[in-house]
């Protein structure tokens, strides 16, 4: 057994997940750090998955009657356990998803933050009281629990995405059945162990939180089951295009968080030092494997050479290697297919006339992991490869003369998740955030595209899927709205002045 495998087993033990491995399991769990096998797990069959959904449905029927502020106590317990186990869960994220230590811990912090938000929210699930046209009447809306929420998640945020959904869903009175990525099952089982412990402490019904182990076929059980009124799916646009019509075919709801192709405009007035820091973190953080990773820089022609030279210099000092080393800034890609995608995109961009400024090759790191030197490619135009999301640290540079041109390039892609402008000109900043500016769900000024806080609604437009999770009023997606009109008079006036009889 490798050191990483031993460490993984110790962590799973401490998190209460025991030994989840079965030697004849059909799924192999690997660490991208060195490609080593951590163990094998067995997928749920479709019949088992259906039973899990059935138990969640029963749990929901009890849970929905618990007052929301009392439901909040469950999420408080979960948040407390996450605080207690932050180091272990963060390390497991590093081992399984390849994130550097600080980003693994950051992901767990995000879970703690959303639990805090949800606990507060449990006393704020409010509807409106609306003026009625009829005397002696009152009209109001109530938000009721929805049912079993199916959560499908991607490998790159193996724990935070579940918590964004689950913390809100639990206080909203729902049950959650989670189908995590088949590439990051251990972190999911660890979260489920913590959720189960929180459930024991708070006395919640059995089966309120459950995990389904398996690949997309197990995800499809959730997608097709009419007992699941909401499917919240995070992953590639390809996946969303398969999931959404299937959920729609049974008139269920889906909340989609799909791919991004995020850009930053760098205007002539930009604070270049700050812009370089923002760009580098967004483009190479998590080895370019965030949905919000920066993939395109659209820079004004007057400062292009200066910006590109500064970015090149910054890229060439990046430490690439095991994410468990405290000095590392760029860890591995998740697997060989991610590496192949990177290599192919670098070659395609060059054949489209792009000039490789730096990186673009494999980095030698001990073991069988897939590490790359983050690439910058100066493009003569926005060719098809630039318009596609390559899930790796690959940054294209495009040049503009007038802001309108930059905005057109910015919005020309199919995805609409995150965006940024670096400028000190208030007209440019406001235009970028206005209706004629960025068409994304997130539009930042003097900040990179990644690293959102949980207080805001998170998500994007167009092929990113249109869903919103996390803060603001995103909780409404996890509830159903009832409009109630109450007549406290002795008359029965009809709306719109209708006379009847
Ligand atoms: P993926 O689409 O390959 O898989 C995501 C999940 O969907 C997995 O659990 C997978 O098993 C499941 N799945 C795939 N096809 C399915 C189907 N037909 N029915 C049911 N389930 C199915 O994505 P990935 O490679 O794990 O993650 C990377 C992608 O996720 C990138 O495109 C990234 O931008 C996106 N992402 C988006 C957000 C966001 O919030 N917008 C966040 C994280 C990742």
* 3-state secondary structure string across 91-122: HHHHHHHCCCHHHHHHHHHHHHHHHHHHHHHC
**Which stretches of the chain score pLDDT less than 50?**
none
Residue 472 CB neighbours (<10 A): 12
Contact 343, 377 (CB under 8 A): no
- Helix/strand/coil for 54: helix
222: Cβ contacts below 8 Å, ≥ 6 apart: 49, 53, 150, 152, 177, 179, 212, 228, 231
Distance between start and end Cα atoms, the chain: 84
Contact 389, 437 (CB under 8 A): no
Query: Which ligand 1 atom lies nearest to the CA of residue 389?
Result: 32
Query: Which ligand 1 atom lies nearest to the CA of residue 257?
Result: 41
Which conformational region is residue 128 in: left (phi greater than 0), alpha (psi within -120 to 50 degrees), or beta?
Answer: beta
Residues of the chain with CATH 3.40.605.10: 4-231+470-483
Catalytic residues: 257, 291
Domain 4-231+470-483 falls in which CATH fold? Aldehyde Dehydrogenase; Chain A, domain 1 (3.40.605)
Residues of the chain with CATH 3.40.309.10: 262-445
Ligand 1 binding residues, C-beta < 6 A: 152-157, 179, 181-182, 215-216, 219-220, 223, 234-236, 239, 242-243, 257-260, 291, 389, 391, 417, 464
Pocket test of ligand 1: the residue of 93, 179, 235, 394 to mutate, having most ligand atoms within 8 Å of its CB, is 235
Q: 262-445 in CATH: which number? A: 3.40.309.10
Nearest CA to ligand 1 atom 35: 235
What is the spatial distance between Cα 358 and Cα 320, in angstroms, rounded to a whole number?
14
What is the spatial distance between Cα 195 and Cα 31, in angstroms, rounded to a whole number?
24
Pocket test of ligand 1: the residue of 236, 256, 458 to mutate, having most ligand atoms within 8 Å of its CB, is 236
306: Cβ contacts below 8 Å, ≥ 6 apart: 272
Nearest CA to ligand 1 atom 42: 291
Rounded to the nearest 10 degrees, what angle do helices 68-84 and 185-202 cross at? 130
The residue among 2, 27, 35 whose CA lies nearest residue 322 is 35
Rounded to the nearest 10 degrees, what angle do helices 101-121 and 86-97 cross at? 120
Query: Which ligand 1 atom lies nearest to the CA of residue 391?
Result: 31
Burial letters 139-177, b for 16+ CB under 10 A, else e: eeeebebbbbbbbbbbbbbbbbbbbbbbbbbbbbbbbbb
ipTM of predicted assembly, 2 dp: 0.98
The pLDDT of residue 259: 98
Contact 288, 334 (CB under 8 A): no
């Amino acid at each position: 057994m490798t050191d990483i495998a031993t460490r993984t087993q110790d962590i799973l033990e401490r998190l209460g997940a025991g030994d989840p491995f079965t030697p004849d399991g059909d799924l192999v769990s690997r660490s991208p750090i060195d490609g080593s096998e951590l163990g094998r797990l067995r997928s749920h069959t479709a019949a088992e998955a259906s039973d899990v959904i059935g138990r969640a449905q029963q749990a929901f029927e009890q849970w929905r009657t618990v007052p929301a502020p009392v439901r909040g106590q469950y999420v408080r317990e979960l948040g407390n356990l996450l605080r207690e186990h932050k180091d272990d869960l963060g390390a497991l994220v590093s081992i399984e998803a390849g994130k550097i230590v600080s980003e693994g811990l950051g992901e767990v912090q995000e879970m703690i933050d959303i639990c805090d938000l949800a606990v507060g929210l449990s006393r704020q699930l409010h509807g409106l009281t609306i003026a009625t046209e009829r005397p002696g009447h009152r009209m109001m809306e109530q938000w009721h629990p929805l049912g079993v929420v199916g959560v499908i998640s991607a490998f790159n945020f193996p724990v935070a995405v579940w918590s964004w959904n689950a913390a809100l869903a639990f206080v909203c009175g729902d049950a959650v059945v989670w189908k995590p990525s088949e590439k990051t099952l251990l972190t999911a089982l660890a979260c489920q162990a913590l959720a189960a412990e929180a459930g024991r402490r708070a006395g919640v019904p059995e089966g309120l939180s459950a995990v389904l182990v398996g690949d997309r076929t197990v995800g499809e059980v959730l997608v097709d089951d009419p007992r699941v009124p909401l499917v919240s799916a995070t992953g590639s646009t390809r996946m969303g295009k398969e999931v959404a019509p299937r959920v729609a075919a049974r008139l269920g709801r889906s909340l989609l968080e799909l791919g991004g192709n995020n850009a930053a405009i760098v205007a002539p007035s930009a604070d270049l030092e700050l812009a370089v820091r923002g760009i580098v973190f967004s483009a190479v953080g998590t080895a370019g494997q965030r949905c919000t990773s920066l993939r395109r820089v659209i820079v004004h022609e007057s400062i292009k050479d200066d910006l590109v030279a500064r970015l090149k210099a910054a890229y060439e000092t990046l430490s690439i290697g095991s994410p468990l080393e405290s000095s590392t800034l760029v860890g591995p890609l998740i697997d060989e297919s991610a590496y192949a995608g990177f290599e192919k995109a670098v070659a395609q961009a060059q054949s489209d006339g792009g000039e490789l400024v730096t990186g673009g090759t494999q980095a030698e790191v001990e073991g069988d992991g897939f590490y790359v030197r983050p690439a910058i490619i100066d493009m003569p135009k926005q060719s098809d490869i630039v318009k596609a999301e390559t899930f790796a640290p690959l940054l294209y540079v495009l040049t503009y003369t007038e802001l309108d041109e930059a905005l057109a390039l910015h919005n020309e892609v199919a995805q609409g998740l995150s965006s940024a402008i670096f400028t000190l000109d208030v007209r440019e900043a406001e235009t970028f955030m206005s209706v004629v500016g960025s068409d994304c769900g997130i539009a930042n000024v003097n900040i990179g595209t990644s690293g959102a806080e949980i207080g805001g609604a998170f998500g994007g437009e167009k092929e990113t899927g249109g869903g919103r999770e996390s803060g603001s009023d995103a909780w409404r997606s996890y509830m159903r709205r009832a409009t109630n009109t109450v007549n406290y008079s002795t008359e029965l006036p009809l709306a719109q002045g209708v006379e009847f009889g």
